Chain A
Amino acid sequence: MKILVCISHVPDTTSKINFTDGDSKFDANGVQFVINPNDEFGLTRAMWFKEKQGASVDVVTVGGAEVEPTLRKALAIGADAAIRVNTVATDGFTVAKQLAKVVREGGYDLVIAGRESLDYNGGMVPGMVAALTESNFVNNCIGLEVDGTNATVSREIDGGKEIVSTSFPLVIGGQKGIVEESDLRIPNMRGIMMARKKPLTIVDPVDASPETTSMSFEKPEAKGTVTLVSPDNLDELINLLHNEAKVI
């Protein structure tokens, strides 16, 4: 089984978000970048398939040289090889086009990506890769088992979950649940040393024109100060929620 895990290089979840160039660009200054958490859950599940079912696991991302530390971290966690498509990630569609080429040329059976990246929250890359490579697609995956070329997937739905069956080639949009938080692996020194020697291949991009363009950003309006209500005057809270906020 050949697995490809798609990794997005995103600001750490605790980052304060700022913009530069007249609010047209994300300000990466002083921001710590990490493997997108939804992708890391998928990568961790891929490690399980490697260890228990003899799968090979490659990781891929689209971006400039600045994303390589994130790929090295994925290698340190245990991926076998990394691929970087050498172009600026503009919109979800162009990223999907780049990834689709890697998927086709690499002959991967199973592609695992996160349901969305925590920066642009487009939530479109896994599905578009599936459509472009004519693979089956299951999103919001919270459990994944593979038997030969067949897969059984738990998928989160509104108010519960469902179990679906499908087959390779398959693209998964993963999230927490595909593994638990406690299953995530912190790279150890041996992993970090080995990662330095693992192949990181840089490939040229294909032509793709962006279907959407980020024009500018704005931050939500600053919140007004909280109205504090005394714990001895909860009638007042009910009054405020009923008459002022009109939500009960």
Chain B
Amino acid sequence: MVLEILNINKIMSVLVYTESEQGKFKKVALEVASYAKAVANQLGTTVTAVSINASNTSELGNYGVDKVLHVTNSQLENFNANAYANVIKQAAEKEDAKVVIISSSINSKYLAPLLAVGLDAGYASNVVAVPTNTSPFTVKRTAFTNKAFEMCQINTDVKLIGVSKNTYGVFENPASATSEEFSPSIPDFGVTVESVDTATDKVTIADAEIVVSGGRGLKGPENWGMIEELAEVLGAATACSKPVSDLGWRPHSEHVGQTGKPVASNLYIAIGISGAIQHLAGINASKVKVVFNTDPEAPFFKAADYGVIGDAFEVVPKFIEKLKAFKAQQ
């Protein structure tokens, strides 16, 4: 009888890939773990996580993970989509997982289609909520760059879900996660990392809770000091509109919008950005939007939660001073 129950658990387990960076779990890992727990509850089963070179696997227990397949392998120090996809595939097969959950990080989105083909799994990306139905298996995802939601049915036996960032949230759900060393075979990499160039001292747009973004209204790159200062006060990442990156005022890596980076922060502050439909599409997943603009007719005012009509060159420095005073009181 006991064996039978274990067997059922094994068959139904939900597998989640929990990403780490320098051994530490990323916030998205905790979010996908929380999501996996909710799906496991729907299916009446347990959550198994697979982690690669993470140091504190027991942390995942706080978010509902029952078991961690813990991979330690120096070959996997740098991300490699093919190898990582293969490791997750082997973990899914070992657990006989029917639902596999990953994040929407740039790396997870890279490995997802390889994993989907490997598992013959239908893949739904940018999923924003727990499945609305588990039979037929149906999830809600964003489409048309946040201009719409799609109800997407996954028809395959194994389902792969990419959870959109900052939509489900992180929930504590104490379980005692057991850790099991897992030594999958490592395939040919095919692609070799030669060098990595990241600004380690800056908050990235992907991880930021707050993003401060500047547009053409700022008139030139020499005026970005106040954007950077505001971002610093708030612990925010800096971003910019498409024209600003096309003009070369700011690097492309800061361009947010439909053809740039997507933003799904808690707070998005737009300064001197009129709010073209392509820009709004890319930042719409942010929860709260604030706009500073001289033009009361700027379309951004229709998309924002809070707005200030005024000259950024006067208002933003004042806002920075007031925020500093506010932060000092906290």
Which chain B residue lies CB-closest to A37? Answer: B259
User: Once the chains bind, are A121 and B310 in contact (CB under 8 Å)?
Assistant: no
Quick check: is A136 within 8 A (CB to CB) of the other chain?
yes
User: Once the chains bind, are A220 and B284 in contact (CB under 8 Å)?
Assistant: yes
Interface size of A in residues (CB-CB distance below 8 Å): 82
Decide yes or no: A159 and B204 within 8 Å by CB, A124-B123, A228-B307 being known contacts: yes
Most buried by A among B121, B150, B198, B284: B150
B167-198 interface (Cβ within 8 A of A) = 190-198
User: Once the chains bind, are A241 and B267 in contact (CB under 8 Å)?
Assistant: yes
CB distance from B297 to the nearest CB of A (A): 12
Quick check: is B314 within 8 A (CB to CB) of the other chain?
yes
A62-116 interface (Cβ within 8 A of B) = 91-93, 96
- Complex CA–CA separation, A247 to B190 (angstroms): 43
Cβ 8 A contact of B153, one of A125, A175, A212: A212
Decide yes or no: A118 and B258 within 8 Å by CB, A127-B113, A160-B199, A248-B234 being known contacts: yes
CB distance from A177 to the nearest CB of B (A): 5
User: Once the chains bind, are B125 and A136 in contact (CB under 8 Å)?
Assistant: no
B196-244 interface (Cβ within 8 A of A) = 196-200, 202, 204, 206-207, 209-210, 234, 242
Quick check: is A227 within 8 A (CB to CB) of the other chain?
yes
Quick check: is A188 within 8 A (CB to CB) of the other chain?
no
User: Once the chains bind, are B302 and A118 in contact (CB under 8 Å)?
Assistant: no
Quick check: is B6 within 8 A (CB to CB) of the other chain?
no
One of A1-9, A42-50, A161-169 contacting the partner: A161-169
Task: Report B293-321 CB contacts with A as 1/0, cut-off 8 Å.
Answer: 00000000111111111110011001100
Interface size of B in residues (CB-CB distance below 8 Å): 92
User: Once the chains bind, are B144 and A17 in contact (CB under 8 Å)?
Assistant: yes
Decide yes or no: A211 and B308 within 8 Å by CB, A137-B114, A161-B197 being known contacts: no
- Complex CA–CA separation, A42 to B95 (angstroms): 39
Quick check: is A30 within 8 A (CB to CB) of the other chain?
no
Cβ 8 A contact of A163, one of B116, B124, B194, B253: B194
CB distance from A170 to the nearest CB of B (A): 9
User: Once the chains bind, are A177 and B252 in contact (CB under 8 Å)?
Assistant: yes
- Complex CA–CA separation, A56 to B276 (angstroms): 37
Interface of A is mostly: mixed
One of B36-44, B66-74, B101-109 contacting the partner: B101-109
Quick check: is A13 within 8 A (CB to CB) of the other chain?
yes
Quick check: is B290 within 8 A (CB to CB) of the other chain?
yes
User: Once the chains bind, are A130 and B191 in contact (CB under 8 Å)?
Assistant: no
B265-288 interface (Cβ within 8 A of A) = 266-267, 276-278, 281, 284, 287-288
A162-202 interface (Cβ within 8 A of B) = 162-166, 173, 175-177, 180-182
Q: List 12 A-B contacts (CB under 8 A).
A: A17-B144, A37-B258, A121-B144, A131-B114, A131-B117, A162-B195, A164-B194, A214-B151, A214-B152, A228-B309, A234-B318, A241-B306
* Residues of B participating in the A interface, judged by any CB pair closer than 8 Å: 79, 81-82, 105-107, 109-114, 116-118, 121-126, 138, 142-156, 190-200, 202, 204, 206-207, 209-210, 234, 242, 246, 252-253, 255, 258-260, 266-267, 276-278, 281, 284, 287-288, 290-291, 301-311, 314-315, 318-319, 322-323, 326
- 8 new A-B contacts, CB < 8 A, other than A137-B81, A176-B252, A214-B151, are A13-B277, A123-B113, A131-B116, A158-B107, A164-B194, A175-B259, A215-B153, A223-B302
